[in-house]
Amino acid sequence: MLRTPELPAVEVRPATVDDASGIARVHVQSWREAYARQLPADLLAGLEEEPRAIRWASRERRSSGAA
């Protein structure tokens, strides 16, 4: 029988404005990896996290009802 090590507990919760930077980082990196063979390298290299972080933060503010 194959045994696997214990995995740490994972908590899934709604995103907050404080998560925007991390979400943007994952967003950009996932695009770079997923589309590495489909899109030009310079386009993927030019993707920026900051504009995405701003958009994600804005979405979270709207969804939470914050100004």
φ/ψ (deg, to 5) at 3: -105, 140
Element (H, E) at 48: none
Q: Distance (Å, rounded) from C-alpha 32 to C-alpha 35?
A: 6
Q: Could you state, in order of their start, the residue ranges of all structural domains in the chain? A: 17-64
The two three-digit tokens of residue 3, written as one number: 């045994």
pLDDT tens for 7-63 read: 888 889 999 999 999 999 999 999 999 999 999 999 999 999 999 999 999 999 998
pLDDT computed for residue 41 by the predictor: 97
pTM to 2 decimals? 0.77
Instruction: Give 1's pLDDT tier (boundaries 50, 70, 90).
Output: low
Q: Distance (Å, rounded) from C-alpha 22 to C-alpha 31?
A: 14
Q: Is the dihedral of CA 16, 21, 22, 25 positive or negative?
A: positive
pLDDT computed for residue 67 by the predictor: 59
DSSP state of 4: -
